[in-house]
C-alpha cells in the first residue's frame, strides 16, 4: 500500500472515529426539547452559501464559522465583512478579523441578526408601537497545525437575544479537526474536515428554556489547481442536527486566472425546493476578494442575496500566502532549471580543472558563511531564520545577506548566482513552493537594492519542501532549520 493510500485512509478513519464518538451527544438530546436558532447558525459567508453550505473541509477566511481548525491554514491576516438580505425584512451582518501567529491562527467575529419588528399588543389588541427583535453574537476562535496532516481548532461563542425587550443569553463552544492537503495523483489536494458545533448552555426565555442547536458535521474537499488558467474546488458535507435528520451539502467552483470565481451548490437542509440550489460568483482584485451568493425561495419569499468582502492586511511580497502557481511561472521555472543544469555542468568542468580542495576554497573566500563544494557547484548557506509562514527577512538577519553581497561582489563579479529558497513541510506542496520562491525573492531584493548586485546576475528558485534538512515543522522555532536560503555559484554570466 503506498503512502498516499495510507494518508487518505487515515484521514477518513479519523473523521469516521470522531463521528462515532460524538454520536451519543445527539442521541442523549433527542428528547431534550426544541432547540433555539443561534445567530451563527444562519450562514453568512457568500462563498459557502454559493457552494451549498459545504464548508467543513473547505478552508476560507470565514472558516471560524464552520470549522475552527481550518483557521490553521491561513497564512495572512484578513478582515472580512458579510451582509445577508434574508427573509422578508430580516437581515444579517458579520465582521471578523483573523491573524496568524507563531503558535497558530486566532480569529474574532461579531454577528448581528435583525429579525425586524413586532407589534406591541395590550389587552388583546395591537397598539401603534413596535419593538425590535434581534440577536447578537461574539465569536473568538483558534486553529493550530500540530502535524502536516492534522489541524485542530476551537471557538467560544457568546450570544444575546432580544425579543421585544425580553432578553436572554447563552454561551457555546465549537471544536474542529482538519486533515488538509493530501496529494492525490500528483495533481489534486484532498482534505477531510469534522466539527462539533454549539455545545453549551440552554437559552432561557420567560418561563421556558431551549437547547443549543447541537450540530455534528463531516466532509471532504478536493482541489485541482493550475489546470491551464483554471482552479477547481469540490466540497461535500454531511450534517446531523439536534431534532433533525441527516442532511447533505455539496458544491463546486472554478476560478479563472485566480481573478473570477463561479460556483453552484446543493443545500439538502433547505425546506423550500427552489432554495436547495445555490449560486455564486467572486471577483479578486489584488488583496481584495468580493463574493456574492444568490438563493431563490420561490413564491413564498423574495430571493436572498449575500455579499461578502475580505481583504488581506499585508502586502503580498511581505508575507507568504496561498498564491496559485500559474502556467507561465511553471514554464519560466523549468526554463531556468534547464539553464542551470547547463551552467552546473560548466561549473563542474571549471572546478575539476582548477582542482581546488574544499579547504582551499574556504580559505580563499574568507567568509563566515557556511560553504560547501561539490563536483558540480559551490554552495553558501544563508541561515536566515524566517518566521513560520513568512517571507519577510527579519532585521537581525540583514547582516548575513549583506555578507553574501560582499562575497558575490568580491569573488564572483562575473558569475551567475542562484538563490534557492526552502520551506519546512507544514502546508501544502503548492503553497510551500510559492513561499520558498518568495523567500528567495526577498533575499534577492536586499542583494540588489542594498548590496548593489546587478539584478541580471541573480536567478531565484523555489525548492518548496523537497529538500528538508529534518522532518520537523513549525510554528515557532520548531523546524526553523528548514526555513532557509542557499545561494549557488554557477557559471559566468553572458
282 and 392 inside one domain:
no
Those residues whose C-beta lies under 8 Å from the C-beta of residue 239, and which sit 6 or more positions away, are 215, 216, 217, 246, 247, 248, 249, 269
Closest residue by Cα to residue 51 from 272, 300, 213, 261:
261
118 and 255 inside one domain:
yes
pLDDT at 145 over 60: yes
347 and 224 inside one domain:
no
- For residue 9, how far is the Cα from the chain centroid? 23
Residue 302 has what DSSP assignment? Answer: P
Does 261 map to a domain?
yes
> What is the average per-residue pLDDT within 382-389?
69
Q: Total structural domains in the chain?
A: 2
108 and 193 inside one domain:
yes
Last residue of a domain, one of 312, 341, 374: 312
291 and 352 inside one domain:
no
| pLDDT-based confidence at residue 191 (cuts at 50, 70, 90) | very high
> What is the average per-residue pLDDT within 11-34?
47
Q: How far is CA 125 from CA 22, 120, 136, 400, in A?
A: 48, 8, 30, 81
CATH number of 293's domain: 2.40.160.40
Does 62 map to a domain?
yes
Does 320 map to a domain?
no
308 and 334 inside one domain:
no
CATH number of 445's domain: 3.30.1330.60
Q: Which residues are registered as beta bridge partners of 264?
A: 252, 279
Most confident of 6-10, 91-95, 329-333: 91-95
299 and 346 inside one domain:
no
Cβ atoms 46, 308 nearer than 8 A: yes
Q: What is the pLDDT of residue 347?
A: 55
Q: For 442-474, write each residue's pLDDT tens digit.
A: 888 888 888 888 988 888 888 887 777 655 555
251 and 117 inside one domain:
yes
Using CA atoms, how far apart are residues 396 and 411, in angstroms rounded to an integer?
Answer: 25
- Domain of residue 388: give its range: 327-492
Q: What is the pLDDT of residue 189?
A: 86
Residues 23, 217, 226, CA angle at the centre, nearest 5°?
145
Residue 182 or 478, more confident? 182
Backbone φ and ψ of 345, nearest 5° = -65, -40
115 and 187 inside one domain:
yes
199 and 262 inside one domain:
yes
Does 22 map to a domain?
yes
Cβ atoms 463, 440 nearer than 8 A: no
Does 466 map to a domain?
yes
C-alpha cell at 94: 458579520
Q: Percent of the chain at pLDDT above 90?
A: 28
Q: Is the pTM of this model over 0.75?
A: no
| 289-296, long-range: CB < 8 A, 24+ apart | 289/61, 291/45, 291/46, 291/47, 291/50, 291/261, 292/46, 292/50, 293/46, 293/47, 293/49, 293/50, 294/50, 295/49, 295/267, 295/270
Does 322 map to a domain?
no
170 and 202 inside one domain:
yes
Amino acid at each position: 500500500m503506498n503512502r498516499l493510500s495510507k494518508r487518505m485512509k487515515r484521514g477518513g478513519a479519523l473523521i469516521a472515529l470522531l463521528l462515532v464518538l460524538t454520536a451519543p451527544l445527539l442521541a442523549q438530546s433527542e428528547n431534550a426539547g426544541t432547540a433555539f436558532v443561534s445567530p451563527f447558525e444562519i450562514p453568512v459567508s457568500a462563498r459557502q452559501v454559493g457552494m451549498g453550505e459545504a464548508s467543513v473541509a473547505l478552508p476560507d477566511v470565514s472558516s471560524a464559522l464552520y470549522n475552527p481548525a481550518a483557521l490553521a491554514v491561513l497564512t495572512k491576516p484578513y478582515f472580512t465583512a458579510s451582509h445577508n438580505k434574508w427573509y422578508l425584512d430580516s437581515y444579517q451582518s458579520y465582521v471578523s478579523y483573523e491573524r496568524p501567529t507563531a503558535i497558530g491562527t486566532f480569529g474574532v467575529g461579531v454577528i448581528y441578526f435583525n429579525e425586524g419588528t413586532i407589534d406591541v399588543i395590550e389587552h388583546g389588541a395591537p397598539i401603534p408601537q413596535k419593538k425590535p427583535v434581534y440577536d447578537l453574537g461574539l465569536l473568538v476562535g483558534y486553529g493550530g497545525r500540530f502535524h502536516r496532516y492534522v489541524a485542530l481548532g476551537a471557538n467560544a461563542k457568546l450570544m444575546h437575544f432580544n425579543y421585544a425587550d425580553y432578553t436572554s443569553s447563552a454561551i457555546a463552544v465549537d471544536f474542529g479537526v482538519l486533515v488538509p492537503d493530501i496529494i492525490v495523483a500528483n495533481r489534486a489536494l484532498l482534505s477531510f474536515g469534522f466539527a462539533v458545533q454549539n455545545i453549551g448552555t440552554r437559552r432561557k426565555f420567560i418561563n421556558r428554556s431551549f437547547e443549543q442547536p447541537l450540530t455534528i458535521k463531516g466532509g471532504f474537499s478536493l482541489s485541482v489547481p493550475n489546470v491551464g488558467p483554471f482552479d477547481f474546488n469540490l466540497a461535500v458535507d454531511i450534517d446531523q442536527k439536534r431534532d433533525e435528520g441527516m442532511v447533505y451539502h455539496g458544491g463546486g467552483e472554478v476560478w479563472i486566472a485566480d481573478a473570477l470565481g463561479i460556483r453552484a451548490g446543493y443545500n439538502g437542509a433547505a425546506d423550500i425546493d427552489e432554495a436547495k440550489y445555490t449560486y455564486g460568483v467572486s471577483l479578486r482584485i489584488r488583496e481584495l476578494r468580493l463574493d456574492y451568493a444568490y438563493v431563490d425561495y420561490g413564491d413564498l419569499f423574495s430571493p436572498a442575496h449575500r455579499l461578502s468582502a475580505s481583504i488581506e492586511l499585508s502586502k503580498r511580497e511581505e508575507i507568504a500566502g496561498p498564491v496559485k502557481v500559474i502556467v507561465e511561472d511553471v514554464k519560466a521555472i523549468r526554463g531556468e532549471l534547464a539553464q542551470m543544469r547547463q551552467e552546473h555542468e560548466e561549473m563542474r568542468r571549471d572546478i575539476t580543472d582548477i582542482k581546488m580542495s574544499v579547504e582551499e576554497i574556504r580559505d580563499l573566500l574568507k567568509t563566515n558563511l557556511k560553504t560547501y563544494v561539490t563536483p558540480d557547484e559551490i554552495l553558501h548557506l544563508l541561515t536566515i531564520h524566517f518566521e513560520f509562514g513568512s517571507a519577510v527577512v527579519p532585521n537581525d538577519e540583514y547582516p548575513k545577506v549583506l555578507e553574501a553581497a560582499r562575497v558575490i561582489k568580491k569573488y564572483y563579479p562575473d558569475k551567475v548566482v542562484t538563490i534557492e529558497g526552502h520551506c519546512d513541510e507544514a502546508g501544502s506542496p503548492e503553497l510551500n513552493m510559492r513561499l520558498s520562491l518568495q523567500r528567495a525573492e526577498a533575499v534577492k531584493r536586499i542583494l540588489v537594492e542594498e548590496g548593489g548586485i546587478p539584478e541580471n546576475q541573480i536567478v531565484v528558485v523555489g525548492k518548496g519542501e523537497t529538500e528538508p534538512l529534518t522532518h520537523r515543522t513549525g510554528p515557532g522555532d520548531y523546524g526553523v532549520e528548514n526555513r532557509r536560503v542557499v545561494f549557488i555559484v554557477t557559471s559566468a554570466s553572458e
